[in-house]
Each structure stands twice: as C-alpha cells, then as structure tokens.
Structure 1
Amino acid sequence: MIQAHCKTPDTCVAVDDPKNAAFVNGKFCKNTNLTVAEDFLYQGLNIPGNTSNYVGSIVNLITVDQLPGETTLGMSLARIDYEPNGQNPPHFHPRNTLSWLCHIQPSKVLNKGDVCVFPLGLIHFQFNIGHTNAVAIAALNSQNPGVITIANAVFGSNPPINPDFLARAFQSDRKVVEYLQARF
C-alpha cells in the first residue's frame, strides 16, 4: 500500500459544471481549494475487460474523462485485454503527439515486460499469438489521444466512400468492397 499526496496549486481537475471554474485545455477546471485525492485516482486497471466480441479484445482507455486530475498533464493510459488470437485492429491516435523516433520491424513479437514505442501518426496494431489471454498497458502522451480504426474509417464512413473508388484503391472487386461496407 502506498500513500500519496495529490493536491497541489498547479493542478487542473476537470469538472462538468463551469460555475466558479476556469476553462483550460478543453475542460473546465475545479477550484484547486476543492480538489480531493480521488480527483487523481483511477481504480480498476486491474480488472480484465470482456473480450467476447468480433476482434477478441477490449481497450479500457483512461483519459481525462475517467481521471479528471490528469487534465493538462498530457497523458492517458489504456489496458488492452486479448483472448487467444485476439487483435487490436490497425489504428492510429490523431491527438497523440509521440515524437520519439525508433525503428519498428514490420512484425515484432513482444514478451512479458517488453516495451515498444510507436512514432507519431504510425498505423499500428497488436495480435495475441499466444494460447492464453494477454494484457498490454499503453501510455499515451495526450489527455485525450483519440483513436481512428482504419477499417471503420474506410468501410464504415458516413457518408460512405464510393465502392468503385475503394475497389480501385485496394485493387479489389466492387462486390468485396460492398460486402465490407455492409459489415460496418
């Protein structure tokens, strides 16, 4: 058990009610005299998510909406649970400003305790190649990084992208594109 002191005058705890609050970084900030330790605490990262869905994974993203005290701190966390063969489909984070440069192999197997960094704007994905459930913890340097899943953006856009255009772009058949659009 760790005891931590979480109240400082330089914090911005997000609140929904603008009464007696300042507007900072897209959120209203609670009067610092009213902040409490719970504003800086999220409990539940240890709880596995339900992976019984089409992709076999679930992302529990902890942003400023779940952890109000992280406003202006430029960070968020995620727990990703995978069943065997579960995947976190190809995606990127439009408001995540990672600027580290590193060489990422086209496919890299990560083992327990390994860390991998994805550069700014890189489309990335994960796939559990193991025979048991797996968990990943992600740290993002934005209080609200957002996520754009490629398949949803391409085949589930509203209004839909012209299937002839997509067929040509993906060097595929219009019927295949229409099938995929119908699934989204």
Structure 2
Amino acid sequence: MSESRLLLIVEDDTAFARTLCRSFERRAYTVLHAESLEAAEEILGSHAPQFAVVDLKLNGNASGLACVQMLHQQVPAMQIVVLTGFASIATAVEAVKLGACQYLAKPSNTDDIEAAFGHVAGVTDLELTNRPTSIKTLEWERIHEVLVESEFNISEAARRLGMHRRTLARKLSKQRVK
C-alpha cells in the first residue's frame, strides 16, 4: 500500500465518515477509517499515515483531543485537521498545542480539509477586526474551556462553573454538540 497519500479519518458518525472516505478516495488518497481512539491506535500499529482528520467529540464522550495527542506522538510529521461542530477558541488552541495543523468547524467539505492540509505554516495577512466579543460568545467559550478541562464530563463541568447540571445540559442542547 502506498503510504504517500495515506489518510486516517477518526470519526464516529458512520454516514459522514463514509462520505468523507469516498470523497478523498476520488482525490487519490488511500483512506483508513477508525471510529474511536483505540481503533486509530490499532491502525497506527501497521500504518504511518501522512494525513488525519479527527472529530473533536467521539462516541462515549471521548475527546478527539486525546486522539490528536496520540497521533502526533506516534507520527510527528502527520498533518492533523480537527473537524468539529463543537467549535470554540479554547478547543482550537488545545488542538493546535497537541499537534493539529488546522481546526475546522462543521460543516466543512473535502475542499476545505484538503486546503487545511496545505496551509500548515499559517497566514500572517489576515484582517484584524476591532469588534468586541459578546457576552454570549464569552460564556460559550468559557463553557467549552471547562468542558475540555473536565474531559467532557457534564456533571463535573457544571460543578466547576457553579451551575446546576440541568442548566448546563439545557445550554448545551441549544447548541449542536458533535
């Protein structure tokens, strides 16, 4: 098997993973799929992919951040893109610290992901805005930060935030967490 365009997709949503796999195969990638951290680790036992797409939230409240860390430790040259519907500044920063080259919010398509693989170095000519952050955005980012710190344990995150577990669950249900 050619390892030069080998891509690992770590995604627990079977339908979305199948779509991504087909799309990348049409672009001449050899695609491997894992539904969990353990399955990804098993694949790394026999393959060394150059690219990976990792969902931030995996089955059983498993963190894609742990997967990013493991992939980066096993294959440091791997270009890892984190895909999520659970986007926040805190998780984006953590993903990059742990070894991801890019962080994309869903919905992202194959073009977006492939472009992210090509923009590893970063861009310095982005327009800086002078728009203040809203209270709702700050609250949402703080909730995400605490969720990451508590390894996505809602009860523990609610305790750290000083709110009732049901209140936090209601806030999370208003935003699609995937």
TM-score, with normalisation over the residues of structure 1? 0.28
Which one has the bigger strand percentage? 1
TM-score, with normalisation over the residues of structure 2? 0.29
Return the index of the structure with the highest Cα Rg: 1
